[in-house]
Each structure stands twice: as structure tokens, then as C-alpha cells.
Amino acid sequence: MKRAVLFLITVYASVPVILYLFPWILGHIIFAHFLRFPYFLDLGRPEDVLNHTCNFYLNTEDGVSVGVWHTLPASQWEDAPGKGPEWYRETLGDGRPVFIYLHGNGATRAMNHRVELVKILSAAGYHVLSLDYRGFGDSTGEPSEAGMTSDTLYLYHWVKKQSRGGPVCLWGHSLGTGVATNTAVKVQEQGSVVDALILEAPFTTIGEVVANHPVTKMYMFLPGFESLLWSILEKNNIVFANDKNLKTLTSPLLVLHSKDDDIVPYNMGLKLYQISLQTKKEYNTDVPVEMISYSANLGFSHNSIYLDPNLSNVIGKFLQNLRQ
Ligand SMILES: *[C@@H]1O[C@H](CO)[C@@H](O)[C@H](O)[C@H]1NC(C)=O
Ligand SMILES: *[C@@H]1O[C@H](CO)[C@@H](O)[C@H](O)[C@H]1NC(C)=O
């Protein structure tokens, strides 16, 4: 008994020491890209989980190849069987909205709740491009905030070139919301504006999610632990500052957040929504800025907003407002 207690105390006490000595570990925990589930699925064969989908790779940078799934809108389903990547690429010019789906940490573009959302968007009549950032899934390289953002920016421009005027929207979930707003800031710096941003379960900054985690909370009373955490994030160049980004972004915005989210607290989504309303005022624009809140009793939590039976109507209405 005494030994077990001593062991537990040692494990507990060694965590801050290990983080201090090996700061990259925190980056690995945040990205969790080494968790490649579903493990027994060949990402080169999307048809095992998604119909009307083509797998391809883009070289987003010298030596970095990222895997992407393109799922067609319902209007193109019938024509799809037997078609190759070139045909799929051509369809992006059909004027229908294109969603670039930016997934959260851990696992791959084949993870169940990601695939379910893609199915809904596809059935609602949209193209979806779902990518695994560098270091995730079958993509090469190592993840970093700057690298994941630059992969997405590359894909965004690639899609824009094919899409001939149809709206290209960024849909970020969880960690992907940070990638989405980073990318939108880059696009704005280049002199244009992303057609629409949809942020599902977004956070203010990733540091605040880490600080809010139950495991972290067990250490927060230790003097210096919190500042250790922030300094490690800084050393790793991991910020994902949605709050700061939204102070300058003038894209149409839709925030989706469930009140029972146990990973990213609902208040963070609400705060971002308020920041965007403020930005809209300051820039004197009339772009749509909306938030849908899901009550806790629906049980959607962090990963299951796709279960909202009305989701495709919500998205449809939001896109309709863009055109006005
Ligand atoms: C693909 O479509 C067929 C025919 O509608 C259906 O039976 C099958 O379950 C679908 N596959 C997947 C992975 O959704
Ligand atoms: C579904 O979404 C639409 C568009 O946002 C809204 O007008 C309608 O009231 C919603 N219906 C339900 C049952 O929530």
C-alpha cells in the first residue's frame, strides 16, 4: 500500500519535470497525430467508408505530401462510378459550394464523426475536401501550427483555381478551427477574403484549452506550473489564437457549439462569436455572423454536432445569406 502511494506520488510529480525536460511532448499531446485510428483502414480506399470520393495527394511544400479526400455533391453522385482524379477535379468548377474540412487533433480523415459530417454536406449538395495535415494519416512530414496552416492555404488556393467562382468555405472542428482562422488571416493578408468560415466547437486559444483540461487542473495549484505550460507552448510556437484572429477577420462566420462540450467549454465559442460581432461593427460590414448553440440535453458534446437533424438546413440558410 505504502509503495503504491509512493509510486503514484512519483508519477504525479514527474509530469512537470518531464514536460520541462522534453517540451516537444506537449506538442505531441496537442496534435496527437501519432494516433492513426481507424488503424485498419487504407486511406487510399475511401470507398470503404465513403461513396463518391476520390483520394489524392498534394505537395504543399518541398518534401511534404498531404492526403485529401474529395467527396462529391449529391448532384454528381450518379456520374461518379469509374471516374478518375482528373474528372473529380473538373467537377469542382460546377459552381456548387466547396467545403474544406479541417479536422481536430488525433486520428485521420477517416474517423467516424468526420466521415458522418462529410456525408451530410455531400447529401446537402456540396463538395467536401477533407485533408490530413502534414504528419497526420498518410501525409508526410511533422505537424506544426505554421505547417498545418500552410498546407491548408495551399489547398485553399488549389481549390479556388478549380472552382471558378463557387464559394469556398473553411469548416474547422476543434483544433481545426485554429487552422481555419489562421488560414483566413493569411488569405486576408494576401488581399482577399475567405468566402465563409464555419467553426465547430472552437476555442479562444489552444493554451486555454490545455489549461482547462482536467489533468492540467490537477497541477494548476503548483506554483509556476501554469507559467511553465505557457512557456512550453511558446517554445513550440503553438498558439492557435482564434480570439486574436477573429478581431481582424471579416469573413461570414457561423459558430456551432454545444453547451455540454467537455473538451472546449461552450463559453469559448460564445466569446468568439461576441468578438466577431464587435469586429463586424468596427469594420462596418453587414456580413452574416451567427451562432447556433445546442442545449446540453441533446448530448452532442464535443464531437457529435453532426447528429443535429437540422444541420443541413442551418448550413443551407447560412450559405443563402452569403449570396445576398
Ligand atoms: C455506398 O452506396 C451503396 C449504394 O447506395 C450503399 O449500399 C453502401 O452502403 C455505400 N457505402 C458506404 C461506405 O457508405
Ligand atoms: C432548422 O434550421 C432552419 C434554418 O436555420 C430554421 O429556420 C428552422 O427553424 C430550424 N428548424 C428546427 C426544427 O430547428
139, 174, 251, 258: which is the annotated catalytic residue? 174
Residue 40 confidence (pLDDT): 85
Interacting residues of 150 by C-beta distance below 8 A, sequence separation 6+: 60, 61
179-206 pLDDT, tens digit each: 999 999 999 999 999 999 999 999 999 9
What's the fold here for domain 35-210+238-323? Answer: Rossmann fold (3.40.50)
Per-residue pLDDT at 153 exceeds 90:
yes
pLDDT bin (cut points 50, 70, 90) of residue 324 is low
The per-residue pLDDT for range 27-37, each reduced to its tens digit, is 999 999 988 88
Q: Is the pLDDT higher at 226 or at 132?
A: 132
The whole-number pLDDT of residue 36 equals 85
The answer to whether the CB of 51 is under 6 A from ligand 1 is yes
Out of 114-123, 130-139, 219-228, 243-252, least confident range: 219-228
Is 70 exceeded by the pLDDT of residue 273?
Answer: yes
Rounded to 10°, the helix 145-163/175-189 angle is: 60
pLDDT of residue 283: 95
Average pLDDT score over the chain:
95
Contacts of 202 (CB under 8 A, 6+ apart): 172, 174, 177, 178, 242, 255, 257, 264, 268, 269, 272
State residue 105's pLDDT score.
Answer: 96
Ligand 1 pocket, residue 14 CB under 6 Å: no
Is 302 assigned a catalytic role?
Answer: yes
Domain spans in the chain, listed from the N-terminal domain onward: 1-31+211-237, 35-210+238-323
- Percentage above 90 pLDDT, the chain: 83
For residues 34 and 270, the model is more confident at 270
What pLDDT score was predicted for residue 165? 81
Q: Which atom of ligand 1 is nearest to the CA of 119?
A: 14
Determine which of 139-143, 224-228, 265-269 has the lowest per-residue pLDDT on average: 224-228
Q: What is the pLDDT of residue 12?
A: 86
Q: State pLDDT tens for residues 8-27.
A: 888 888 888 888 888 889 99
What angle do helix axes 225-235 and 24-31 make, rounded to 10 degrees?
Answer: 80
Has residue 257 got a pLDDT over 90?
A: yes
Q: Is residue 98 within 8 Å of 169, Cβ to Cβ? A: yes
Please state, in angstroms and rounded to a whole number, the distance separating the CA atoms of residues 130 and 114: 9
pTM for the full predicted model: 0.95
* Ligand 2 touching residue 313 (CB < 6 A): yes
Question: Rounded mean pLDDT of 310-321?
Answer: 96
Q: What is the pLDDT of residue 322?
A: 87
**What pLDDT, on the 0 to 100 scale, is given for residue 164?**
82
